Structure 1
Amino acid sequence: MSRARVFEWFKRFKEGSSAVESDEREGSPSTSRNEEIIQKIQTAIQGNRRLTIMEISNEFQISFRSVQTILTTDLGMRRVAAKFVPKLL
């Protein structure tokens, strides 16, 4: 943790705040990893397991990294012999 962050937290607690969570951040929330997109990607992969991450990224207009995260984390898949398969195989 940086020194500046320590001073900021010290000031917060000195003023009486007891919450350890960070404040809400400005900006729009991430929309590329929602249930609708995850289901669409799962359907696309089940239809053609040889799709590349770049092809999926272009088709659904989301970033390459978001597609990677959806496939590996949300759907529990990995690439085996140029196909996406569940990690248990």
Structure 2
Amino acid sequence: MMGIAASLLTLVAATLFYLTDREQRWLMKPLSSWQRLISLLMLLAAAGLWSLSLGLSVGLMAWLWVLVLSLIVLALLAGHHRDTFQKSGGRP
């Protein structure tokens, strides 16, 4: 149960962290910078939950993997949504 909570907290924090970046591609304007601080606090709480559920070294490694995979998937989904690789003319 704690692993599920840690995963969800990491995913929500990574999404919030992504949406506060000025180079994000989901929103017209990025979220305000104080929300980045909230996402960092959520990430620290998630790291604590991972460490409590799996032990310090394994918990931190699992937290980093989930965080990095979340950020990669968010960036790829945003790029796919915006750049959809549609034909812009030329041959049908």
Q: Do both share a fold (TM > 0.5)?
A: no
Larger relative contact order (Cα-Cα within 8 Å, sequence gap ≥ 6): 2
Greater Rg, structure 1 or structure 2?
1
More helix as a share of residues: 2
More strand as a share of residues: 1
| TM-score normalized by the length of structure 2 | 0.30
| TM-score normalized by the length of structure 1 | 0.31
